[in-house]
Structure 1
Amino acid sequence: MASVETGEVVSGIFDDDLAGRRFVLVERIPEDVVSDRERLRTAVSEARREHSGEDLPVLLRRDNGATPPGEWKPHTTYLVLDGTPGHEPPHGITIGERRPKGGGADHARGWLLQALRANYGDGLDPAAASRWVDTLFAQDSTSSFIAFSRDEPVGHLTVEYGVPDACSERPTTEIVDVLIDLTDRTAKAAVERALVAAAARAAAERNEPIIGNVVHRPEAPEDPTHKIVSVLESRGWSIAYRIWQSGERQ
């Protein structure tokens, strides 16, 4: 995404290739502007004009998850894990780190495509999804933590190392996806915690915070994703920032 800085506001065009959607993304904006409805409306309108995006939906980043004034709905919440958990794999489960670029994470590819279909539903472009996963898995910075039961893969947590934060530019380890292919809920939760712990330890060795995200579903009658955020907070995660989508014409 190419960014443009106008005064203290940094914005750009963000393309969600998987869904075939384009947004104006306001990445950075002064607190005294974002907390005032009329000044925020003006700044967003200027960002739209700057990118010839008068008809595009607007995304707005706000740190700590604070709600901006006006008609905004949560789009994606980014959370950072506090500390390094010590969860070990449950009995009979082993965890190994594999680099997809070397062909060591074939199961992770299938699980990731499965997760994309679940998240995007009918809005997913299958060809774009396949290209996106191919590109991700061709990068040296991508790594998958695979859980095995009797040498059979039963889950993965895939990360991308060295992802710079858009505002601070600090390198982070970003979780791309986690999926556990088990039916027992207790075992599933234990394996997930162990995978997160393994990834967090690897991130700590690189002196990078580990970041996860929850994509919201504001169109759902009862959006279940807010409960997911609450559960993560109870497990040691805290909100780093939230992306909001405007629900009104600016």
Structure 2
Amino acid sequence: MVKTVLASLVYYIWKARNEVLWNQQVWLINTTVKKSQQMSKLGIKGLLPKKAKVEDKTWILMISDVKAHKVDYARNIWNRMVLPKHRFIGWQIVNNQLLTRDNLSRFLSISSPLCSVCCRENESHQHLFVHCCFTQKLTGEITKWCGQFDWSVDLNIWFSKAANSMQERVINTVILATLYIVWTNRNSCIFELSCKTVSTLSKEIKSCVKSRCLMGCNGGKGNLDSYILNLPNEVVSVTFSSEFG
């Protein structure tokens, strides 16, 4: 019964990919973090009226001791160029919070620990998003399309690098889109018993990134449009093939 309920819950969350829902989730996370940061800066003195309940004062005291830890990779993941649902999944990936089979097995008995995509090795974040032979074929297609960069074996280190230039921000967008597609394809393999081909997923990623960069986050200013369209003709470390234009 517990397995059925949990599986149904995971499936429901995966299917609920409406953009509005993702935006609401991102807003909630950002609001919660901001409140934590504000509370951590406030002392108990003068914060509550004298007649406040003891439990309220105790709660505020506990909150005031909470420190908001800044992480280097946050800015690259929570970038407006990246789709909200890609940010959300990307954040969970770098923090090892997705319900991969190794995480599920800690509190639930599962039928098999093997990766549902390749069925060769045990499923974990590191395997699914880096070492899985299917993922490596997909990332090989994507890196060939994007230009001169290697898929990192440590995503935390990759996203910790400052993305100051436009091409670096585009690459981050590509990587997060790829991670999202890998995860949703994995879920499709489990819940729908249907896995897409590398070619199909590669086309989805390219189309998604192109649409996002050219239309989704530019606000009609034209600067990003011009950059993307002219990028193949520029001498830069990261170039895009003619498929992008």
When Rg is computed on C-alpha atoms for both structures, the one with the higher figure is: 2
Specify the TM-score bucket, using the shorter chain as the normaliser.
Answer: under 0.3
* TM-score normalised by structure 1 residue count: 0.24
Q: Which has the higher helix share?
A: 2
Q: Larger relative CO (CA 8 A, sep 6+): 1 or 2?
A: 1
* TM-score normalised by structure 2 residue count: 0.24
